[in-house]
Amino acid sequence: MVDRFQDGLLTPTETASHLEIPQSTLTSWLKGRAAGAPLVHQVEPVRNRNQPGSA
């Protein structure tokens, strides 16, 4: 089961494309804060051990 707060669903590039907004806008939202809380939630990627380039 996918946990939308723990498992990444889209990359920032895919998200900006899906929302039809500039990637720079999404980047500022990912780094920005409003009323002391993040504007949007971001999950750091976890590499699969079987993927090329993983340790």
Q: Is the pLDDT of residue 54 over 60?
A: no
Q: Is the pLDDT of residue 18 over 90?
A: yes
pLDDT averaged over the chain? 78
Q: Is the pLDDT of residue 37 over 60?
A: yes
Question: Where does the pLDDT of residue 44 fall: very low under 50, low under 70, confident under 90, or very high at 90 and above?
Answer: confident
User: Do residues 32 and 21 lie in contact, with contact meaning Cβ atoms separated by under 8 Å?
Assistant: no
Number of CB atoms found within 10 A of residue 26's CB? 19
pTM score of the predicted model? 0.60
